Structure 1
């Protein structure tokens, strides 16, 4: 292991320790802490320095408006609608991940721009987890619906990739980690 790799051990440890938190408490990082973590997450690899992403924080009533938009997108009524309406209320903070893509860019295809936005989201989830917050990346069948886009104020060329649900880690939450990844299953070598 080279000197630089030895110094990178905290990043490896944070990656190995990361775990999705499906249930969180009603506390969340304030805007200052969130901005600090976003500044670090924004260092993700960015071909042509396009910065093809942005994040939208949803707190309080904004989460309820998202629930209403999800119900509209699903066309539901009754108990099923109420269940769906309540999903954004599972965490005190939702961070919407928005890809801001440029069609026809000469060097960076749209899929790569989406990958950059997803990279920011993943790095932010890792940083939030390392800072002691519970985080779960959620999507769903209505993530690209017009009503859902309207709640987030999406502009032309922007589309939603999902939300990071963020909150406190319950005292009784298990922090057991998933089984180790068998890297040999995912790595091949071309000679």
Structure 2
């Protein structure tokens, strides 16, 4: 019925383990950043930003993932630590999403800023799809760890939201049920 809506509805997340090369070019990454800046943003606070982790920096990030795993579970065994390290290497491209939330803005409450961050993430996912890639955002306890906060030099008002893995996928993503329209769209009755 509508190409844009059909594209949005066809989007599916694919496990970062399955997202292989090629990944997005620098030009395509710039377009993802442009789409991030196009998200609804009451007050023009720009609460979302992206940090591209270049592939040659993935081993350094693996150390941070391992430290975050140990922080969450100090008695982690070697297998769990190695699994954490591997997660930093999944996906052809890895992008950290950082939110800067201003708690005391009288015009724009925090929940509106978070809505903007969520819209920015969706714009990145849809832009990746428009280039023929698949993408998935992953988070988990690691994103709030001191190890991650330190690695990304986050200020008090900044939050590591998660990582968007982007890459090529040779196959069809799992078909997942979507909520029926009549559960999503209701009529207001006083």
Q: Pick from 68, 73, 76: which aligns with 2:68?
A: 73
Alignment pair present for 1:187 and 2:185:
yes
Aligned to 1:48: 43
Question: What is the deviation of 1:54?
Answer: 0.7
Unaligned runs of 5+ in 1: 1-5
Compute the TM-score of the two structures, normalised by the length of structure 1.
0.87
Question: What is the deviation of 1:102?
Answer: 1.2
Aligned length: 182
Unaligned runs of 5+ in 2: 71-75
Question: What is the deviation of 1:133?
Answer: 0.7
Q: 1:10-49 maps to which residues of 2 (within 5 A)?
A: 10-22=3-15, 23-49=18-44
72-81 or 47-56, larger mean C-alpha shift: 72-81
Secondary structure, aligned partner of 2:177: coil
Compute the TM-score of the two structures, normalised by the length of structure 2.
0.87
Q: 1:38 to 1:10 in 2, by over 3 A?
A: farther
Aligned to 1:126: 126
Aligned to 1:149: 149
Question: 8 Å contact 2:32–2:123 — kept in the other structure?
Answer: no
Question: 8 Å contact 1:98–1:160 — kept in the other structure?
Answer: yes
63-72 or 29-38, larger mean C-alpha shift: 63-72
